[in-house]
């Protein structure tokens, strides 16, 4: 049993690039084998503005819109669209759009749980109090707030003037599945304790309310509120079009129950008729690339890497072209004909093997004993922020 009390916050991926062009990656969120069939992606979950800006605000609004455009492009790059057909990519792009200039937007997932975008001004505290929110839970990093010029201190200070609402923070790096996995136990622990203390309605938000916040809400529903993972996911997606990383939640579940375990793996691309081989996905996300080292003796490109237990999808980039390796495990073909390579990293411990086998089931659920263990770990988790 592992309480994860020494969980490191330093394990992270490489810095996210600033993308300004169409993505060229394959997504790993929700169930990407049937993503387009899983939820109706034709609409956008954001409310559209109906008023026109006055001439005096045109310049400021243009700057805000430009920031939103860049953020949305980065989000699409990180969450995935490029390896789909142009039609599906355009649908994903319309969903993966955050318009900061339109103000806060949110969705009731349950009567007591809301997932939404970030608060922008102290006045948003009043809006949330009007719908009986007792806990505001911010998952943004300082860099996220600075990008959109959000004064978090003013918002928090204003919230302290009321005795019926509490503002909390627990940072998760945006677009980083590994950081999400490692941070989820601490983040959900803090949420669990706040809900027990404050009761009422809880508002969980990141920047756009499409990745980190829904993943945190989903883990909370699964670990604490007694939902089967797929049932919680179906409810979440029926209320808000979003992209919680289910694999990160499954991995975090195993981390709590069996501990953080790593294993060395080797990935190989055979062939000396290319000048560079890189790999995307794996534990760094689809927006990053890991270079492979060429070994002339074998005529192969090699990557040695220590990975935490879990299931990882990845793809090779050979001289700039995205490719799969037919000699390594492949995901099933999706409706657009795309596949990834994948690797399942599991140690020899029988408990780990059993849990990871069960985690792969479509109807996976925790046993009563496992759920009690997770709740105990969350309750005992040290407050580190």
- The residues that are catalytic are 206
Judge contact between 211 and 79, C-beta under 8 A: yes
Judge contact between 246 and 233, C-beta under 8 A: yes
Strands 262-270 and 300-308: antiparallel
Judge contact between 190 and 385, C-beta under 8 A: yes
Q: Which helix (H) or strand (E) holds 108?
A: strand 106-110
Partnered with residue 310 across adjacent β-strands are 345
Torsion angle (degrees, nearest 10) of CA 192, 198, 202, 208: -80
Q: Which helix (H) or strand (E) holds 45?
A: none
Strands 166-169 and 133-138: parallel
The answer for residues whose C-beta is within 8 angstroms of residue 31's C-beta and 6 or more apart is 38, 246
Query: If you ran DSSP here, which 8-state letter would residue 330 be given?
Result: B
């Amino acid at each position: 049993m592992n309480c994860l009390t020494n969980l490191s916050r330093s394990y992270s991926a490489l810095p996210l690039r600033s993308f300004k062009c169409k993505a060229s990656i394959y997504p790993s969120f929700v169930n990407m084998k049937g993503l387009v069939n899983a939820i109706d992606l034709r609409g956008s979950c954001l409310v559209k503005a109906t008023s026109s800006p006055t001439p005096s605000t045109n310049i400021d609004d243009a700057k805000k819109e430009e920031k939103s455009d860049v953020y949305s492009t980065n989000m699409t790059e990180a969450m995935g669209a490029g390896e789909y057909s142009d039609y599906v990519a355009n649908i994903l792009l319309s969903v993966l759009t955050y318009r900061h200039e339109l103000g806060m937007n949110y969705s009731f997932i349950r009567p007591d749980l809301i997932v939404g975008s970030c608060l922008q001004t102290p006045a948003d505290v009043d809006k949330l109090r009007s719908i009986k929110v007792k806990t505001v839970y911010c998952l943004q990093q300082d860099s996220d707030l600075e990008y959109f010029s959000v004064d978090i201190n003013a918002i928090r200070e204003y919230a302290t003037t009321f005795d019926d609402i509490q503002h909390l923070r627990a940072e998760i790096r945006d677009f980083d599945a590994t950081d999400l996995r490692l941070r989820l136990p601490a983040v959900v622990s803090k949420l669990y304790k706040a809900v027990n203390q404050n009761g009422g309605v809880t508002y969980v938000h990141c920047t756009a309310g499409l990745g980190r916040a829904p993943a945190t809400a989903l883990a909370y529903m699964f670990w604490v509120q007694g939902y089967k993972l797929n049932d919680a996911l179906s409810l979440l997606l029926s209320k808000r079009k979003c992209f919680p990383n289910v694999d990160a939640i499954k991995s975090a579940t195993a981390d709590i129950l069996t501990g953080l375990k790593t294993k060395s793996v080797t990935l190989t691309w055979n062939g000396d008729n290319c000048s560079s081989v890189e790999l995307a996905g794996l534990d760094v996300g689809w927006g990053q690339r890991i270079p492979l080292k060429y070994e002339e003796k074998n005529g192969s490109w090699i990557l040695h890497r220590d990975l935490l237990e879990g299931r990882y999808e990845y793809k090779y980039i050979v001289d700039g072209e995205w490719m799969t390796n037919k000699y390594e495990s492949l995901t099933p073909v999706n409706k657009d004909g795309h596949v990834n390579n994948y690797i399942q990293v599991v140690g020899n411990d029988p408990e780990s093997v059993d849990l990871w086998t069960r985690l792969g089931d479509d109807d996976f659920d925790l046993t009563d004993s496992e759920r009690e263990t997770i709740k105990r770990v969350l309750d005992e988790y040290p407050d580190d922020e």
